[in-house]
Amino acid sequence: MDDDFNMSMRKFLKQVGVTSQQAIETAMRDGGTAAAGKSFEARVVLTVAGLDLEHVVTGKIAGPKE
């Protein structure tokens, strides 16, 4: 793949990572004691318009300790 493709993909993935982390942290903080010490199922679905791509990533995120 070429450099322009690699750079645009890295920029997009960095944006996804940073904004997703911020959103999760905000949700955990807003959850307060209800989120403390619990484990949450997480799911991300990536689609690319114009391509036949649907990529699903699942995992668990541990809530903050009390």
Q: Domain residue spans in the chain?
A: 3-62
User: What's the pLDDT at 3?
Assistant: 94
Residue 24 has what pLDDT? 96
CA distance 61 to 20: 12
pTM to 2 decimal places: 0.86
Q: What is the pLDDT along the chain (66 residues), one digit of tens a residue?
A: 799 999 999 999 999 999 999 999 999 999 988 899 999 999 999 999 999 999 999 999 999 987
Q: What is the pLDDT of residue 1?
A: 77
Q: Give buried/exposed letters for 22-54 (b at 16+ CB in 10 A, else e).
A: eeeeeebeeeeeebeeeeeeeeeeeeeeeeeee
Cβ atoms of 39 and 59 within 8 Å: the answer is: no
